[in-house]
Amino acid sequence: MVTIPNIYTSKNVRYYIVIPIILMLIGILLSTHLSLDSSLSGGVSLTLQTNATLNAQQISSQIGSALKVSTPSIFQSSGEIQITIPNNKSLVNGEDYLLNFYAYQANYTTSYLNATTLQNALLHSPSNTTLAAALAAENKSVEESLKGMNTQLSLELGALSPFVGTPSYNSSNPANMTQVAQSAYVGATAYYKQKVLTTVKSLVPFTTYTYQQVTPTLGRYFLGQFEAIVIAAFVLISIAVLIVFRSWAPALAIIFGAGNDMVIALGAMVVLNIPLGLASLGGLLMLIGYAIDTEMLTAVRILKRREGTPEERAYHAMKTGLTMTTAAIVSFAVLFIVSIIAYVPTYYEISGVVLFGLLADILTTWLGNTPIILMYKKRHDRGG
């Protein structure tokens, strides 16, 4: 049986933190090259059931050229091919103009209702100059909003013309303009889907498929929600740690540990070619839970227990924590290997993120978080 020495009896404990800091800096550097998958950046994810063999690089180039998009990514396994197609610029621009159109439409509706209300009020008080000025302002807003709707609809139809041609519309009829704006975008996405399937079918024979398209707006929404969840998680964790330990030092140490694990995991994702998507985001959230578990264990053992010295308590916490983390690492390592063999992208992304995040957690917790809490404990005991 391997006996782990007590590394916390060394006089150089404070220097241990250099290792996780270096890993953090490497993680930050690598994470600048992190890519988003179609679930966050937008685009098309197409999964084909086929036994055909193909030249992925050649077909990827042909699909990108036919659809006028950046080079798609292709992953192939036994009986299945997954193609991730980046956004089509025309559709992206069309969606942006449609959203702008809706903004002007909302302003138009509000101003029109206000103008109607003011006009009725003036019928009962025709000499009221305040009402007259307000009505003039609302009428001006109606005109500007209608002009904005016309401009954005014209831009949308121009962007989507490769898919839907140039539909006619009544520029003085907001209801007709709204119908045309909606129909144009729906028709463009349907046409593009058919073009994608036809293009791929001409290059890769397949029996069945799954088609998923995510707009950039929806992708940004998912990413924003994830950021909000992570911020909320760290805030709640900080509050909980403050309540338990009544000090900022343990809270900062724990936040440093969990944050460092995430940064290193993001760097590992670049090395493993794992894009940031819904699956990998789930892995990062799981990683926060694992990281907080070991770090809270350490903080409670060192600061709340009284048996032995702080160094001895840290050592026993390390042995317990390593056992817990090792069990999780083995589990996710098995899942990681199986996902590579069977080619299950979702499992590959989740297990890869958590696996390498847990490996980072060993170094972050026992060489970073624990020495910080030990130094805080010694200073607190001296009354500093």
Residue ending a domain, choose from 214, 236, 262: 214
Torsion of CA 214, 220, 225, 226, to 10 degrees: 90
pLDDT for the residue numbered 77: 67
pLDDT for the residue numbered 85: 86
pLDDT for the residue numbered 291: 87
Residue ending a domain, choose from 189, 214, 239: 214
pLDDT for the residue numbered 47: 84
Bridge partners for 211 per DSSP: 46
pLDDT for the residue numbered 303: 86
Instruction: Provide the domain count of the chain.
Output: 2
CB-CB contact of 71 with 112 (8 Å)? no
pLDDT in tens, the chain (384 residues): 457 788 888 888 889 999 999 999 999 999 898 887 777 777 888 888 877 777 778 888 888 888 888 888 777 766 678 888 888 889 989 999 999 999 999 999 999 999 999 999 888 888 888 889 999 999 999 999 999 999 999 999 999 999 998 899 998 999 999 999 999 999 999 999 999 999 988 888 887 888 888 777 877 888 888 888 888 888 888 888 888 888 888 888 888 888 899 999 999 999 988 888 888 888 998 898 888 888 888 888 888 888 888 888 989 989 988 998 999 999 999 999 988 887 777 888 899 999 999 999 999 999 998 998 888 888 877 765
Residue 2 is assigned to a structural domain of this protein: no
Query: Is 195 in the same domain as 235?
Result: no
Query: Is 92 in the same domain as 207?
Result: yes
pLDDT for the residue numbered 1: 45
| pLDDT tens, residue by residue, 47-105 | 888 777 777 788 888 888 888 888 887 777 666 788 888 888 899 899 999 999 999 99
Range of the domain at 344: 7-38+215-381
Query: Is 74 in the same domain as 187?
Result: yes
User: Residue 347: CB partners within 8 Å, gap ≥ 6?
Assistant: 335, 336, 338, 339
Residue ending a domain, choose from 214, 229, 259: 214
User: Residue 180: CB partners within 8 Å, gap ≥ 6?
Assistant: 153, 157, 167, 169
| pLDDT tens, residue by residue, 152-188 | 999 999 999 999 988 999 989 999 999 999 999 999 9
pLDDT for the residue numbered 87: 85
pTM of the predicted model over 0.85: no
Query: Is 96 in the same domain as 177?
Result: yes
302: closest CA among 365, 359, 255? 365
Residue 73 is assigned to a structural domain of this protein: yes
Q: Work out the angle between the directed axes of helices 129-164 and 174-203 (0-180°, nearest 10).
A: 20
Residue 1 is assigned to a structural domain of this protein: no
